[in-house]
Structure 1
Amino acid sequence: MAVSTQVSLVPPFTRESATAKVRRAEDGWNTRDPETVSLAYTVDSRWRNRSEFVNGREAIVAFLTRKWSRELEYRLIKELWAFDGARIAVRFAYECHDAQGQWWRSYGNENWEFDEQGLMKARYACINDLAITEAERLFHWPIGRRPDDHPELSDLGL
């Protein structure tokens, strides 16, 4: 699904703009570039990620740098769950492996809130991890943006 440049990605969201916002976030995270990803958040953005609390862009960059130094070959799919006004709820799954070669699929839900410029000011993530074998992997595209023709979470039965 290519994101149209004609869709306004600021609140209040429509189904089309919320879906585009989710894909834009997925694309950003799949770059695994903490500095670039941090620019989608307000300078004072507040996060809860699992049991960790992250506040502000500098802390987001530090968090993502740590995350992607241990979550190797990271690939993520996000899917719109619900939206209203300036809020979007998503479900997601990502696959990666650790330094020992153990593959993981992590499942979760995120609740997002945006400011008037479309920057995320709050992110609350709940995540569960499942050890998988390499043969159980479902996300095989080259590192980077998920191809438009790759199945989404619902298509994969996740």
Structure 2
Amino acid sequence: MTKNVLDDVARRKMMAQFRSKDTKPEVMVRRALHRLGYRFRLHRRDLPGTPDIVLPRHRTIILVHGCFWHQHNGCRDARMPRTRQDYWSAKFQRNSERDVKITAALTALGWRVLVVWECDARKPDLATYLASVLGHVPSRAGHTEDEETAAV
């Protein structure tokens, strides 16, 4: 029985391919928000932690967390690697502490912070979930306020 173990060079090359911006789950959340009519800014460096998605009009920030990297409780994608568990345990602990610190800093600045997990971003009802969590429906593009109040 052979183990499927990568050498250091192959592992380093594989790990370098993971991106911190424009990940598939993040793009899925952005597409769903756009379809719902929300407009947003991406990766604002003037805010703590450079949040993934910022909805300035609604004072809301959406952080899209990878289940593995942020160790989503109860998720099958959040498994601890079998090798170098001391390293990974410390890494995940630092990630968790950083998440708490960033969320507290953003909240202190008056932002509402929502976390969307990678596994939730893959669900077909993502747009419904986002609409319910955000709690309001933005105005439709191309309509004036008079048309919207007349339609109600």
For the criterion TM > 0.5, the same-fold answer is no
Query: Which has more radius of gyration?
Result: 2
Structure with the bigger percentage of helix = 2
Question: What TM-score bracket applies, with the shorter chain setting the length?
Answer: under 0.3
Normalising by the residue count of structure 1, what TM-score does the alignment of the two structures yield?
A: 0.25
